[in-house]
Structure 1
Amino acid sequence: MKVIAEGAASGKIILMGEHAVVYGEPAIAMPFAATKITATMQEASQDQLTSNYYSGSLAEAPANLLNLQNLIGKLRQDFDAPPVDCRIVSTIPAERGMGSSAAVAVAVTRAFFAWQEIPTDQARVLNYVNGAEQIAHGNPSGIDAAATSGQQPVFFQKEQPLEPFQLNLTGALIVADTGVKGKTRDTVQDVATLLRLQPEKTRAAIGELGQLTRAARIAISDNQPATLGELMNQAQTLLQQLSVSDASLDHLVQVARHNGALGAKLTGGGRGGCMIALAKDRHTAAIIANQLENAGAKATWIQELGVCQYV
């Protein structure tokens, strides 16, 4: 057993397929390494947690940390480990659709395995992470766990296995936070209502979003950033038709496009949360990010795309 050990995980974004994925169409999620969570672990007299959100005895942590309580408890039980002092540092904004809860579970699990010097692999990590996610979200798809723990985009379709695929794309991705908490539950319900009231038009939009996602997978694999940008723009138009965008998102999308983005759209549940933009290079991405902050974005992050980011 090491004296102290560390584990890390990235954030994630939904690149394409929001809302349509609920109705059987595919979605693409990507690790977003510009935001991350780091967990450190060492022995203590009783289980302790230190984080930006809560610090103190893990047994007395608030109810919304039940997933973390159970995760650490199960790890300790399965490997007969002593009480832990777990410290978490995060740059992933909470409640913005960037996989914060899954990333915490990935980082903590990796830190525990490193601390106990237990050989591990991706499947073993995901087994524990998915258990924590079931407590946090009830019936998670697994896409957050896969994206925050992996290094490749993930193609996901309901009742189908997750498919990681090659990220072969030059350029840079910008994420901007509107500063407004996303309203995923409301937007999902409103799309369902729209489907009931305007079935033909809504089904057509959902189907088209699915086709755009399939085309985006090809563009990512074949290094076609301009094509991917146009697909993102088309997806944003359809998401606006489905009423899941809002003024804060639309404003930042337009700012990004007017400052050189190849494409821009909301990411996640919508009506707040974050938007994403694709730039041809990091220099252009920095210009776009600066203009987004000038236009009201609460924070921006840039990730260069391609294999080089993981070296």
Structure 2
Amino acid sequence: MANVEESGGDVEHLLVVIVDLCNAYEISASSKEHTQALSVKQCLDAVTTFINSYVLTCHGHSVAVCISHQAGSQMVYPSSMTSELSADDPRLQNTGKYEPLVHMNSILCDQVHQVVAKLSSAPADTVSTSTLLSGAISKSLCYIQRQNRELLIGRTLNSRILVVRSSSDSAPQYIHTMNCIFAALKNRVPIDSCVLWEDSGFLQQASDVTGGVYIRTPEPSGLLQYLLWVFLPDPSTRDHLLLPSSVEIDYRAACFCHHKLVDVGFVCSVCLSIFCRSTPICSMCNTHFKLPSLPTLMKSKKKKNHKHKGT
């Protein structure tokens, strides 16, 4: 799917996939709320097949995978904690399989099973209901920067991030998520978004600002089809394809005082903090706002009325 000029030896492509596992086991159990439930295994199989297709598309394609959940985020591939598979490993004995892909798939499967086991065993009152997306994007950007520094002279790296999300937005993470979005924009890293259940205002803004593609799958069971159709081509190739039209983007911001999404708010003129209510002192930069007091306004009105009566 890559262009002929970009598939040469001087250009490398890096795709960082962020998989959201927040409430994945709960969503698969409550299939009554959704017409077609999607289990963790089905989601992992679709993402793994997409990653394998991306790696086999071009020799210069490389992949990294980050898992995001309620308790944090972690890079699961490439993983320095995982040892190389031995030659006599039974997973490598099947003929017709590319050994690097078998190695990668086994690492992803083992790491995801460990994360899901920890989440399912944790008490319900100690685990939040939203994923730490900002931390996953931050780690992905750090990994991209490290790969850029390790490039040989004369080679370039085209990087992008793909977020596969199954949870809803968390207003307290608005500031951190927006900082990650602007960092990706400065480093020219597009953020693609594939949302499974409900629209995400944060990811809509991330894809629109960075030049990525946002899509909400109407049928979660067809996740693999949407991944291969929309997100497999490189950004330079998408101009020649007929992709889904963009939806109306939710640009609402979260206030800094109560962490709630607001349509109309009050903005500090010094630090640009957003508040849902008017306040005489900015809680972020301690700036005092000079607001006219009520007695002064009443006195000015009385003077005007007295002048009109005298005339």
Same fold (TM over 0.5): no
TM-score of the superposition, structure 2-length normalised? Answer: 0.25
* Higher strand content, 1 or 2: 1
Structure index of larger Rg: 2
TM-score of the superposition, structure 1-length normalised? Answer: 0.25
Higher-RCO chain (CA-CA 8 Å, sequence separation at least 6) = 1
* Higher helix content, 1 or 2: 1
